[in-house]
Chains A and B, each alone.
Chain A
Amino acid sequence: DAKTTQPPSMDCAEGRAANLPCNHSTISGNEYVYWYRQIHSQGPQYIIHGLKNNETNEMASLIITEDRKSSTLILPHATLRDTAVYYCIVRVANNAGNMLTFGGGTRLMVKP
């Protein structure tokens, strides 16, 4: 699976949009971009994933650049409960197995 690069930490004001970047310049054509987050001492929570089109669900939006070398996770109206470590992972989503390779992630701090 391709390697990802994320900033180690970011701050965001409550109520504002949080934009979390991820670089994955070596991504292959059949690799998806997945985002998970981990609130302190809890299990990681699946947020969203995509291949090349932008995706949106009730939690967030995922914007993938046209060359697929980077992406941005957008939390449209961040709340204090969104304070967590956010992990960007790229992997092949087929029947080849479930191994997720977690990097260091981005520690997002939402401030009042």
Chain B
Amino acid sequence: KAGVTQTPRYLIKTRGQQVTLSCSPISGHRSVSWYQQTPGQGLQFLFEYFSETQRNKGNFPGRFSGRQFSNSRSEMNVSTLELGDSALYLCASSRTSGDSQYFGPGTRLTVL
């Protein structure tokens, strides 16, 4: 069974731009969560989607948003990029909300 896939793997943007990251969960998994990892703050929860609905949201500004499609694939969007948004963005999927999560390889975003 294929694992969680994330695209793109690497991305370079400039301040003020917006970016969309994509995540395809493991087949049969209906919950997708997003995390941000930075050297200073570590791994932080962004939000979770289950059955196309946002279930939980972490403490991030409204510039960070996401959505989930009927096939469980998810996208997250960051608008008006700031230098501090440079991070590894990780997606994790699970069969249901509350089940063990399996992470993808991440998208490394660099904001210049």
Contact = CB atoms under 8 A, between A and B. Distances in A.
Given A44-B92, A95-B98, A99-B58, 17 more contacts: A36-B103, A42-B105, A42-B106, A43-B4, A44-B90, A45-B103, A87-B43, A93-B99, A97-B56, A97-B97, A98-B48, A98-B50, A98-B98, A99-B45, A99-B56, A102-B42, A102-B44
Interface in B75-104: 88, 90, 92, 94, 96-104
Contacts of A104: 42
Interface residues of B, number: 28
Contacts, number: 67
Given A95-B97, A97-B56, A99-B58, A43 B48 contact: no
A13 interface: no
Interface of A: 34, 36, 41-46, 49, 87, 92-104
A34 B88 CA distance: 22
Interface in B20-69: 31, 33, 35, 42-45, 48, 50, 55-56, 58
If over half of B's interface residues share one DSSP class (helix, strand or loop), that class is named, otherwise mixed; here it is strand
B94 A98 contact: yes
If over half of A's interface residues share one DSSP class (helix, strand or loop), that class is named, otherwise mixed; here it is loop
A98 B103 contact: no
Given A98-B55, A104-B42, A93 B106 contact: no
A98 B90 contact: no
Nearest to B100: A46
Going nearest first, the 8 A-B pairs with the smallest beta carbon separation are: A43-B103, A102-B43, A97-B56, A98-B48, A99-B45, A98-B33, A44-B103, A94-B98
Contacts of A95: 96-98
Contacts of A100: 33, 35, 43, 45, 92, 101
